[in-house]
Amino acid sequence: MASSSHKFKVLEQRKISPPPGSVPSTTLPLTFFDIPWLLFTPSQPLFFYDFPHSTTTTTTTTLLSNLKHSLSLTLQNFFPLAGNLTTPPPPTKPHLIYTDSDSISFTVVESTADFNHLSGHHQRHVQEFHHLVPTLPPSVSDSDPHVHPLLAVQVTLFSEYGICIGFTFLHVAADGRTFDNFLKSWASICRVGLDPNLLPSYDRSVIKDPNGIEPILLKQWWYQRSTREDLMDQNGSRLEDRVRATFVVGQPDMEKLKQWILTRSNKLFGSYPLYLSPYVVTCACIWACLTKIRCSNIKSLSKLDPHYFGFIAGGMTRLGYAVPDTYLGNCVSFGRSMAMGSELMGEDGILIAAKAIGDTIKKLNGAVLGGAENWISDWEELFGSDLHVRVTGSPKLDLYGLDFGWGRPRKIEEIAIDRTHEVSLTESRDGEGGMETEEKPKRRKKDEEEEEEKEGGRLRATREG
C-alpha cells in the first residue's frame, strides 16, 4: 500500500456566484422528503479524470477558466445550491434561501499524490483522499436562525497525470438525481453550451403530503437537533486505521448469482415469487458477505438478533402523481430490510438477504410512503450499531457519463463513507449493466488481516466471478 504522505499546495481560493443580477432573492421551503436529510453529514463525491498536462501550461489555465465561467452560468439556473440552509428555532420551518451575491467556495489545489494509485480499485488508506475534498464554509450557528452553506467545489491537479473534481454538499438541498442534473448541466455548458432539458424546476407545490408526514418529521428533527447535531457523528470514527477498496460486479456475475438464488429458493421457499433486480442481487451479496466478515463467530449471535439493511429508494415513479424529472430537491424514500444474523451467516445468507431486500422494494413499489413517519427513527437505529449495513448511491444516474470536454471519469469515489461506515454503489464504468461498490474495511493486526483477506477474496470472487 502506498504511503499516505504527500504534499499539496493551494493555488487559488475564490467564490463563484451566478452572474451579477441574474437571479432574484428566493426562498424555498423544505418538503417532508428534505427534512430527514437535515440530520445527515455532507456527501463528498470525487471524480478522477485523465488529464496529462502540466499545471503551468496554457491548456490547464484555459481549463480552469472554462470551469469557473461555466460553473457561474450553471449556478444561474441551480442558484439554490449557491444559497444557504437556514434552521430557525421551533416552530419555524427550515428553508433554503438565496440572496443576490451568494456564492460557493471554489478551490484549486496542486497535489504530489500518486494519481494512478488513488484512482485504482485496490486497498488505499482513507486519509490519502481527504486533501481532495473541499471544506464547506463554516455555519453561522451563534444566532438564530442558523445559516449553513450548501456546496463547495475543489479542483485538484496532478501534474502530467490527471485532475480530480471534488464536492462537499448538504443532501438536504439535492438528492442524487438533482445533483446529477447539476453536474451534467455544468459539464454541458463547459463542453458545448446549455442543455435546456436540464433546466431545473423549483415548484415545491408538486410534492403532496396528504398524510401529514411533514409535521411528524419536523417534530422528530427538532428533538434530534436539541440532543445532537447530526444523525451520523462526523468525528466518531477513527480514520488512521482504515482502508477503502472498490469491487466490480459485472452483468454475467449478477446473472450467475441470480440463478443460484433461484435454485436455492425453490428448495427453501417453493414457488414464492422473489424480486431479483440487479440492484437486489448486488445488495444481497454485500449484506450477507459483510455480515459474515463482521460477525465471524455465529455461535455468539442470538437467533433473535435482528440485522438491518438500509438503502435509498427513488420516489418519483412510485408516488402516483407526476413530479418533473428536473425537480430541484429530494424525492427519495428510505428502505429498511431485516433478517436474523444467524440466517445471514448461514450458507443461504445471500438468499435470505435477497428475499428481505426484494420484499422491502415490493412494499415500496406499492406504497412508497408507507412508514414515512418513521424515517428518522428507523435510520437512527440503523446508525446505532456497526452490525447493520447501509448503502448509498444509485447505479441509475450514469455518473461515468460526466464529460467536461476531456473524456469520461476514470474513477468515482464517495469519501463520506469513511465516516458514515456505508457502502457506496454506482454503475460500472467499463461494463454495461455492471456496478461498482466502494467499501471501507478496518485494518487489523497481521494475523487478523490475513483472515479478513480470505473473506474479502471470497466476496470479490462472488461479485466479480
Q: Where are the domains of the chain?
A: 8-227, 243-464
Between the two ends of the chain, the Cα-to-Cα distance in Å is 24
The alpha helices in 212-250, defined as continuous H runs, are 213-227
Q: Are 329 and 33 in contact (CB under 8 A)?
A: yes
Name the grid cell of 399. 455518473
Q: What digits encode the pLDDT tens for the residues 68-118? A: 999 999 999 999 999 999 999 888 999 999 999 899 999 999 999 999 999
- Which burial class, exposed, middle or buried, applies to 37 when counting CB atoms under 10 A from its CB (0-12, 13-18, 19+)? buried
Residue 171 bears catalytic tag: yes
Can you give the pLDDT of all 465 residues of the chain as single tens digits? Answer: 444 567 899 999 999 999 999 999 999 999 999 999 999 999 999 999 999 989 889 999 999 999 999 999 999 999 999 999 999 988 899 999 999 989 999 999 999 999 999 999 999 999 999 999 999 999 886 667 889 999 999 999 999 899 999 999 999 999 999 999 999 999 999 999 999 999 999 999 999 999 999 999 999 999 888 776 555 444 445 666 789 999 999 999 999 999 999 999 999 999 999 999 999 999 999 999 999 888 875 555 555 689 999 999 999 999 999 999 999 999 999 999 999 988 998 999 999 999 999 999 999 999 999 999 999 999 988 988 888 999 999 998 999 999 999 999 999 999 999 988 899 999 999 877 789 998 865 544 443 333 333 333 333 322 222
Q: Are 315 and 176 in contact (CB under 8 A)?
A: no
DSSP state of 119: T
Q: How far apart are CA 119 and CA 48, in angstroms?
A: 7
Q: Is there a common fold for 8-227 and 243-464?
A: yes
Catalytic residue among 50, 348, 378, 403: 403
Helix axes 251-269, 278-294, angle to 10 degrees: 80
Residue 53 bears catalytic tag: no
Q: What digits encode the pLDDT tens for the residues 405-453? A: 999 999 999 999 998 889 999 999 987 778 999 886 554 444 333 333 3
Q: Are 132 and 154 in contact (CB under 8 A)?
A: yes
Catalytic residue among 171, 307, 388, 421: 171
Q: How far apart are CA 109 and CA 459, in angstroms?
A: 36
Nearest to 312 by CA among 385, 397, 227: 397
- What class, spelled out in words, does domain 8-227 have in CATH? alpha beta
Burial of 202-230, coded b for 16+ CB within 10 Å and e otherwise, reads bebebbeeeeebbebbbebbeebbeeeeb
Integer-rounded Cα radius of gyration of the chain: 22
Task: Choose the CATH number for 243-464 among 3.40.640.10, 3.30.450.60, 3.20.20.70, 3.30.559.10.
Answer: 3.30.559.10
